[in-house]
A = this chain, B = another copy of it.
Amino acid sequence: MTTLGYALLGLLAREPASGYDLKRQLQAPIGFFWRARHSQIYPELARLEAIGLVTYQVVAQHDLPDKKVYTITAEGRGALRDWVATPAEAPVVRDEVLLKTFSLWLVEPAAAVALVRDQERRHVEQLQVYEGLHQQLVQRAGAALTHWDSPYFASYITLQKGIGAERQYLEWCRWVVLLLEQPA
Contact = CB atoms under 8 A, between A and B. Distances in A.
Interface residues of A, number: 69
Contacts of A180: 148
Interface stretch (A39-47, A48-56, A161-169): A161-169
22 contacts: A6-B99, A10-B99, A30-B102, A33-B98, A33-B99, A34-B94, A35-B92, A35-B94, A80-B103, A81-B103, A84-B106, A88-B99, A93-B94, A98-B161, A102-B155, A102-B158, A104-B157, A105-B153, A146-B179, A160-B172, A161-B169, A165-B168
Given A92-B93, A93-B94, A167-B168, 14 more contacts: A10-B102, A13-B103, A34-B99, A83-B100, A84-B104, A88-B97, A102-B154, A104-B153, A105-B149, A109-B148, A160-B172, A160-B175, A164-B168, A165-B168
